[in-house]
């Protein structure tokens, strides 16, 4: 008797006639008048459940008749061809052992019926038991694995950039403080301000908003690196597109310019989409059926097309000449909103678009200044169906240009001394981008609320589990 | 002309006579009296540098004569066989373009000489440029990639458990608080206590110390999962073995008992050690030469031996009968210290050892009680040369036993309601373990201070960069 997973059984790894043992949870049970029960058992290894055909000759058949959704069972029996549609094999059960009952099935939150995503979110510890969230978890894993594989195959080194940081960076206003100070007895300094020198890290410390600056230090030593880890925003916005805690993937490449990393972004996205279509056809079929009709076709289309490339300045021209009335007015200098981005990708180019060379005033201090004095070597990748999915730039590697920009923005040179060192010692052109991992999972699955594509979402007033 | 990496050149991917372009940093320069300079260039793709042979006929040869360690260069030339020892190929340079100079080479912190690890730690942004820390980064990456590959090949799903949590768990005393409250104007409630309901998450929130409890929720739905992410300890200990922020890998397996996960731990460790020996032979040779003589041989020995298995009770007996005087006295019930663990692995068994079934009083509340009433199904994996490297357990899946244990320990049932749900609805036996990733990198490389195997270490008074 061989222990086996549902995916191995359904994919024919065991031959008809073999005696097997399967462990999992009951999805549904149906009893026929002929004294046979059909018990569908899942174990998370794939979307589908395996059907066990249970005869009433089993000594504990009365237990079988009490099985409900969510009960854990161990089923032994023979692999047989399935006469029914939809699956090739089933199990002719010779034994059903109940491992764990469901206490009070009538109130079991995950009973076999359609639940709203809002209801599931309130039961984040049980929702992976549903078809929907189980499929999300498998697709999320498939994407993460493909990302690591893509970079590893190309000689990139995964670098773990710090989560806690006392480094002064942009956007400190939206950062979470990390502290062990006793709030009932805050230490004070001479000026009667809170004395962070007595805090754990000896300085006021925060959760990171991006690993980029740290990743640059490793790219300027090892050439090709990437980060993949959690990042944080203390933004008080309760929307379907924001999380306080999310995973970010950021490659950083020495000797690469903006076009190089635009090409990298294209290769990477196509690689991971191919992987998920190959590995998770079952789950993707479910998403196409239940969540977003285009789930599969839009990935296929994405893979098959060359990315369009357009300068920000030309993109603005396209929008102005579109004859379209946008909610937000178009003019050179605006930070494009979702409606503009989607028009470009979905209607004008009908393909993923890389928009390049944005106005410097709407972009970060570290981006490389172009010769026109007005724009920086920044890019966004816009995908049909979602808009911006990747943002990146070439970094300013010229010390004197960087310093002038710091001064212009009123930032303190001392705070960037280690970052400036990269420009003082063997500086190289380098570029990178960031991909919000949950945005990616959301795009692939078609799940419209980002809180449903991360196991335990963190948002304002929400840090349970 | 083909762009190529140093590793591709040295491994013979380009044939003799081919014209190539290499981009990287100068490790050393040596000038011969015959008017030829030998410039060693590294790019992080492997341990070794490629030697460029530069003739004084180059128009910018005076620039070449000013090259120092750390300068970034682009070298073009022809691949030739190297007459020297140690490498098969070198480049006969026809062009050397200096991309970035080193400002004031005399004070460049990473000049080509041996630095102490303490000095390197104070220059964490530049230290990946050294042979030592570059090698650590590649080995660390190789281990991380192997971990993901190992689990993915076996159908495990990577689950990202939350970093911020308001969940009450053990050890809250050593947790970092995460907050956006204004410390100069702390909100107070009716009882004049700090009012965390006004904090970002509406509750006092912390950085996670382990993803295990969350991972259990996914294992009890998808069977086989693992986490790999950062975890935190606000322990005020400044030792070579502790970090405030470190990465942890935790598999969690449904329908698995303690022996199953002990076998999983053995398979996993052997798999990743094989991978690193295969992929990073160059870096491992360096560690064996410079850091820890046994670096390679102890991994080979680890891979070739079956793990020994011993009950805690028998292990105590072995220690008592060893005739050895330990600093800490041995008796049943003690939490073994490193000297005991290393005696067992290095002297008694001369192999990795799994110690099982520890006294319940020294272990966590969630571990499964054994029938003897005195021990729990916990295990530690002890490795020769380091001691404990993995800790795990079978989890208590029986609701009534779990509840009795909570009561005994004075813990509040309500605080564990979602964890108890896993035992109320289709409960299954399940087990898992935790591996501190930096401990693993430390073991493999022989680096004795854990702060040298993570890019930007966090410890008391240390959160720079």
pLDDT in tens, B372-385: 999 999 999 999 98
Shortest alpha-carbon distance between residue A459 and chain B (Å):
7
Strand partners, A75: A22, A96
Facing residue for B245 by CB, picked from A162, A186, A462: A162
If you measure CA to CA, which chain A residue comes closest to B172? A180
Which phi-psi region, left, alpha or beta, contains residue A115 (left: φ > 0; alpha: ψ -120 to 50)?
beta
If you measure CA to CA, which chain B residue comes closest to A25? B426
Facing residue for B221 by CB, picked from A134, A207, A427: A134
Would the pLDDT of B30 be above 80?
yes
Shortest alpha-carbon distance between residue A329 and chain B (Å):
34
Facing residue for A426 by CB, picked from B25, B200, B223: B25
B157/A214 Cβ within 8 A:
no
pLDDT of residue A170: 56
Instruction: Report chain B residues whose CB lies below 8 A from the CB of A72.
Output: 426-428
Please state whether beta strands B245-254 and B308-311 pair in parallel, antiparallel, or not at all (unpaired): unpaired
Q: What is the pLDDT of residues B180-214, one digit of tens each?
A: 999 999 999 999 999 999 999 999 999 999 999 99
Q: Cα dihedral sign for B395, B400, B401, B404?
A: positive
Q: To the nearest 10°, the Cα dihedral for A376, A382, A388, A394? A: -30
* Residue B323: both structure tokens together: 């005739």
Q: Please give the mean pLDDT across all residues of chain B.
A: 96
B102/A425 Cβ within 8 A:
yes
Facing residue for A426 by CB, picked from B71, B140, B161: B71
CB environment A126-147: b (16+ within 10 A), e (fewer): bbbbbbbbbbbbbbbbbbbbbb
Instruction: Report chain B residues whose CB lies below 8 A from the CB of A244.
Output: 164, 200-201
Mutant choice from B456, B460, B461, B462 vs A, greatest count of A C-beta within 10 A = B456
Q: Please give the mean pLDDT across all residues of chain A.
A: 96
Residue A290 DSSP SS3: helix
Facing residue for B223 by CB, picked from A43, A223, A425: A43
A464/B222 Cβ within 8 A:
no
Whether residue B160 contacts residue A247, with contact meaning beta carbons closer than 8 Å, is answered with yes
Instruction: Report chain A residues whose CB lies below 8 A from the CB of B125.
Output: 214, 217, 418-419, 421-422
- CATH number of this structure's domain A131-173+209-452: 3.30.930.10
Shortest alpha-carbon distance between residue B126 and chain A (Å):
7
Whether residue B178 contacts residue A177, with contact meaning beta carbons closer than 8 Å, is answered with yes
If you measure CA to CA, which chain A residue comes closest to B152? A145
Facing residue for A138 by CB, picked from B126, B157, B177: B157
Facing residue for A223 by CB, picked from B45, B454, B465: B45
**What kind of architecture, by CATH, is found in domain A2-100?**
Beta Barrel (2.40)
B178/A177 Cβ within 8 A:
yes
Q: Which part of chain A is CATH 3.30.930.10? A: 131-173+209-452
pLDDT of residue A377: 98
H-assigned helices in B90-130: 117-121
pLDDT of residue A112: 81
Residues whose CB is less than 8 angstroms from the CB of residue A342 and which lie 6 or more positions away in sequence, other chains included: A382, A384, A385, A386, A387
Shortest alpha-carbon distance between residue A365 and chain B (Å):
17
Say how far apart CA B370 and CA A52 lie, in whole Å: 33
- CA geometry: angle B221, B222, B227, nearest 5 deg: 110
Instruction: Report chain B residues whose CB lies below 8 A from the CB of A254.
Output: 23, 43
B186/A464 Cβ within 8 A:
no
Would the pLDDT of B171 be above 80?
no
Shortest alpha-carbon distance between residue B309 and chain A (Å):
24
Strand partners, A432: A252, A393
Residues whose CB is less than 8 angstroms from the CB of residue A216 and which lie 6 or more positions away in sequence, other chains included: A252, A395, A419, A422, A430, A432
- Interface TM-score (ipTM) > 0.90: yes
The helix or strand, by DSSP H or E, that contains position B108, with its residue range, turns out to be none
Whether residue A46 contacts residue A87, with contact meaning beta carbons closer than 8 Å, is answered with no
pLDDT of residue B238: 86
Q: Which residue has the tokens 């005195």?
A: B374
R_g of chain A, CA atoms, integer Å: 27
B244/A164 Cβ within 8 A:
yes
Q: Which residue has the tokens 């022809």?
A: B78
pLDDT of residue B173: 65
B461/A217 Cβ within 8 A:
no
- Portion of chain B with pLDDT greater than 90, in percent: 92
Shortest alpha-carbon distance between residue B336 and chain A (Å):
29
Say how far apart CA B352 and CA A273 lie, in whole Å: 41
* Residue B424: both structure tokens together: 């109320």
Phi and psi, residue A248, nearest 5°:
-130, 145
Q: How many CA atoms lie within 13 A of B325 on its CB side?
A: 0
Say how far apart CA B422 and CA B428 lie, in whole Å: 8
pLDDT of residue B169: 59
Q: How many CA atoms lie within 13 A of B5 on its CB side?
A: 17
Would the pLDDT of A84 be above 90?
no
Residue A150 DSSP SS3: helix
Shortest alpha-carbon distance between residue B67 and chain A (Å):
10
Residues whose CB is less than 8 angstroms from the CB of residue B266 and which lie 6 or more positions away in sequence, other chains included: B306, B307, B352, B354, B381
B163/A234 Cβ within 8 A:
no
| DSSP 8-state class, residue A305 | S
Whether residue B262 contacts residue B222, with contact meaning beta carbons closer than 8 Å, is answered with no
Residue A142 DSSP SS3: helix
Facing residue for B255 by CB, picked from A23, A140, A255: A23
Would the pLDDT of A173 be above 70?
no
**How many residues are listed for chain A in this entry?**
465
In chain B, DSSP finds a helix count (H) and a strand count (E) of 13, 17
Say how far apart CA A16 and CA A81 lie, in whole Å: 7
- CA geometry: angle A65, A66, A72, nearest 5 deg: 110
Residues whose CB is less than 8 angstroms from the CB of residue B404 and which lie 6 or more positions away in sequence, other chains included: none
Shortest alpha-carbon distance between residue A100 and chain B (Å):
4
Q: What is the pLDDT of residues B209-223, one digit of tens each?
A: 999 999 999 999 999
* Residue A457: both structure tokens together: 């979402």
| DSSP 8-state class, residue B188 | B
Q: How many CB pairs under 8 A join A and B?
A: 321
Q: What is the pLDDT of residues A344-358, one digit of tens each?
A: 999 999 999 999 999
Facing residue for B157 by CB, picked from A124, A137, A217: A137
Q: What is the pLDDT of residues A359-385, one digit of tens each?
A: 999 999 999 999 999 999 999 999 998
Shortest alpha-carbon distance between residue A331 and chain B (Å):
36
Residue A374 DSSP SS3: coil
Whether residue B303 contacts residue B273, with contact meaning beta carbons closer than 8 Å, is answered with yes
Q: Which part of chain A is CATH 2.40.50.140? A: 2-100
Say how far apart CA B101 and CA B98 lie, in whole Å: 7
Would the pLDDT of B172 be above 60?
no
């Amino acid at each position: 008797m061989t222990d086996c997973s549902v995916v191995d059984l359904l994919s024919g790894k065991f031959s008809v006639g073999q005696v097997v043992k399967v462990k999992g949870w009951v999805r549904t049970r149906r009893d026929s008048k002929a004294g046979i029960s059909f018990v569908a058992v899942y174990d998370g290894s794939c979307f589908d459940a395996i059907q066990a055909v249970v005869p009433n000759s089993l000594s504990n058949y009365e237990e079988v008749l009490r099985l409900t959704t969510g009960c854990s069972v161990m089923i032994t029996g023979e692999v047989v061809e399935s006469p029914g549609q939809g699956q090739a094999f089933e199990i002719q059960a010779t034994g059903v052992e109940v491992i764990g009952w469901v206490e009070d099935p009538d109130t079991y939150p995950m009973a076999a019926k359609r639940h709203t995503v809002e209801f599931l979110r309130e039961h984040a510890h049980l929702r992976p038991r549903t078809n929907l969230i189980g499929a999300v978890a498998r697709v999320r894993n498939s994407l993460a694995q493909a990302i690591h594989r893509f970079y590893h195959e190309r000689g990139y080194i995964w670098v773990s950039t710090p989560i806690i940081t006392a480094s002064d960076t942009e956007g400190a206003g939206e950062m979470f403080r990390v502290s062990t100070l006793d709030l009932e007895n805050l230490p004070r300094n001479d000026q009667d301000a809170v004395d962070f020198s007595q805090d754990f890290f000896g300085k006021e410390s925060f959760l990171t908003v991006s690993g980029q600056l740290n990743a640059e230090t490793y790219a300027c030593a090892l050439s090709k690196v990437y980060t993949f880890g959690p990042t944080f925003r203390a933004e008080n916005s309760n929307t379907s597109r924001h999380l306080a805690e999310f995973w970010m993937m950021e490659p950083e490449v020495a000797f690469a310019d903006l076009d190089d990393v635009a090409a990298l972004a294209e290769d990477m996205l196509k690689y991971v989409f191919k992987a998920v279509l190959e590995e998770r056809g079952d789950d993707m079929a479910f998403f196409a059926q239940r969540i977003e009709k285009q789930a599969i076709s839009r990935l296929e289309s994405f893979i098959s097309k060359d990315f369009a490339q357009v300068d920000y300045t030309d993109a603005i021209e396209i929008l102005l000449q579109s004859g379209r009335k946008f909610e937000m007015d178009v003019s050179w200098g605006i930070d494009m909103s979702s409606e503009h981005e989607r028009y470009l990708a979905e209607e004008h180019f009908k393909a993923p678009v890389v928009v390049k060379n944005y106005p410097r005033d709407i972009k970060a201090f570290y981006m490389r200044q172009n010769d026109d004095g007005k724009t920086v070597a920044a890019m966004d990748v816009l995908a049909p169906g979602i808009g911006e999915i990747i943002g990146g730039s070439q970094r300013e590697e010229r010390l004197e240009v960087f310093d002038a920009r710091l001064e212009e923005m009123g930032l303190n040179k001392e705070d960037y001394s280690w970052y400036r060192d990269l420009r003082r010692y063997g500086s190289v052109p380098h570029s990178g981008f960031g991909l919000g991992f949950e945005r990616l999972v959301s795009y692939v699955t078609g799940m419209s609320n980002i809180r449903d594509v991360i196991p335990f979402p963190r948002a304002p007033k929400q840090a349970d589990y």
